[in-house]
Amino acid sequence: MSEVIYWVHQSVDGFIEGPNGEFDWPAMGDELSAYSIGLTERAGAFVYGRRVWEMMSSYWPQVESISDHPHDLAFAPIWRRTPKVVVSRTLAAADHGARVIGGGDLAAELTELRERFDGDLLVTGGTGAATALAARGLVDEYQVVVHPVLLGGGRQVLPHLARQDLRLVSTRGFDGRSVLLRYRRA
């Protein structure tokens, strides 16, 4: 059965966006990019909350006309071919072939997805969907990339959760800048 992995970039002070919503600070060097590409290539489906979905679906279908960054160009075909799921209580449908869940029993819907897809369900960024899944004990692994920046405020990673004990699986540095912390449920 597929596992649910939460993959997120955060600042040293624990934010995924700055005070004005800025997300211009993660540095995708060669090592971090290669790790990210490998992680996404193994995913059975990408899982997004509504806000992240809106950002991803407006950027990745047309990325070649927007960016020439090697990471973007390598990830674009992966994004296009990988099934996508949007967790939302407000969306009825999503474009690019994405399936919308979250209007009913989220645990049951996620169980069905775990059985349906080969490969892990990769929950990318955001806080809403990830917090909803984590609150129900549905996240198997947390992969947090900490970047060397202090944002001083903004959107917090996994806000308002009850305590959950995790165990450290591994750490890894990338490009002499960022650090991956991998945790699993205890």
Tell me: the pLDDT tens digits for 64-75? 999 999 999 999
Overall average pLDDT of the 30-39 stretch: 98
């650090």: which residue's tokens? 179
For the domain spanning 31-123+134-177, the CATH number is 3.40.430.10
For the segment 167-179, what is each residue's pLDDT rounded down to a tens digit?
A: 999 999 999 999 9
Question: What is the average pLDDT score of the chain?
Answer: 95
Q: How far, in Å, CA of 147 to CA of 140, rounded?
A: 23
Q: Name the percent of the chain lying above pLDDT 70.
A: 100
Q: How far, in Å, CA of 31 to CA of 185, rounded?
A: 26
Edge-to-edge strand list for the sheet holding 4-11: 99-101, 84-87, 43-49, 120-124, 4-11, 141-147, 178-185, 166-174
Confidence at 1, pLDDT banded by 50, 70, 90: confident
pLDDT at residue number 5: 98
Domain ranges (residues) in the chain: 31-123+134-177
Does 126 score more than 90 pLDDT? no
Does 32 score more than 90 pLDDT? yes
Does 103 score more than 90 pLDDT? no
Confidence at 125, pLDDT banded by 50, 70, 90: confident
Overall average pLDDT of the 31-49 stretch: 97
